[in-house]
Amino acid sequence: MDSKRTVSIIGTGSYVPEKVLTNKDLESVVETSDEWIYSRTGMRERHIAAEDQAASDLGSEAAIKALVDARIGAEEIDLIIVATLSPDMFFPSTACFVQEKIGAKNAFCYDLGAACSGFLYAMDVAKSQIACGAVETALVIGSEKMSTFIDWEDRGTCILFGDGAGAAVLQAGGEGRGIMESSMGSDGSLAHLLATPGGGSRNPISHEMIDQKQHFLKMEGRDVFKHAVVRMSEAVLDVMEKNGISADDVSCFIPHQANIRIIDAISKRLGVADRMFSNVDKYANTSSAALAIALDEAARGGTIKKGDLVVLTVFGGGFTWGANVIEWGK
């Protein structure tokens, strides 16, 4: 088996639920305002899943679109990885539910947990499996129903998140260099700054845990902001050095869509504001789905074209962060 074969993205897709929750709508939920939210986050609206929709439902919709874009059938998928922090349930994996929904009967499946960094991490894992010859075609999905894990009485977090899913089909071969070398990092000593404390083996489900709202996402916003800007900027510089390119060679930078102020700060540090993609105004932060949705929109909208070099960068709970470079082949 060839351990150095090229791995390319041959299709992308995304899906967001029908219901839209605007900043104006949130004014009746918590003490806030459209102006306050937009000036601090760049967000105007977010999509909220229906009660009967789970992460696998959102992910399956995005997956079907990606398969259509790739012009392949679900039975051709060898591997499905779903990145999520809002799975349908603890087990089985959400990826197994997606497999059944889309008819990918020949795939093996598992979930990956890296919070908002999940899609890029999953892409790197899938790339490695393809590059070593273990599989030919992989489906990578970031899917989140964040609205389930948000305290709608906490204005510091409820304004920031939305629901949605994005997907990419990876396959061996293709023109150019495809998905190039990545840069990854983690710092578990800062895990407490962004976490859902309750519900796991450390703090099991109980009446007391729920009464204390420990099953909802908790975040120290200022600390997360600071670390996100530094780590994503460093990851981009590192991955460009690893791949022997400069910022001038890159046609489009796509960061995790957490907050427009974070995106702007990274843009200024790198001097690439004219090539920084953002759709955070439409979807807010959809965690592991955010990068996947942004990549699909950039591809379908013509922002990135065949032969372009694209840099993706992420940051999430853990803390986790990373970046990669793609020579776009579609």
Residues belonging to the active site? 116, 256, 285
CB 101 within 8 A of CB 118: no
Closest by CA to 147, choosing from 216, 240, 231, 226, is: 216
Burial of 95 (0-12, 13-18, 19+ CB in 10 A): buried
CB of 256 closer than 8 Å to CB of 114: no
Query: What is the distance between the alpha carbons of residues 5 and 209, in angstroms, rounded to a whole number?
Result: 49
DSSP class of residue 86 equals: S
Q: Where are the alpha helices (DSSP H) in the chain?
A: 23-26, 34-41, 55-70, 94-102, 118-131, 155-158, 207-211, 221-242, 260-270, 280-283, 288-300
Nearest CA-CA partner of 247 in 259, 256, 238:
238
Cβ within 8 Å of residue 212, ≥6 positions away:
198
Q: Compute φ and ψ for 118, nearest 5 degrees.
A: -55, -45
Pairing of strands 137-145, 179-186: unpaired
Burial of 77 (0-12, 13-18, 19+ CB in 10 A): buried
Q: Which helix (H) or strand (E) holds 322?
A: strand 320-327
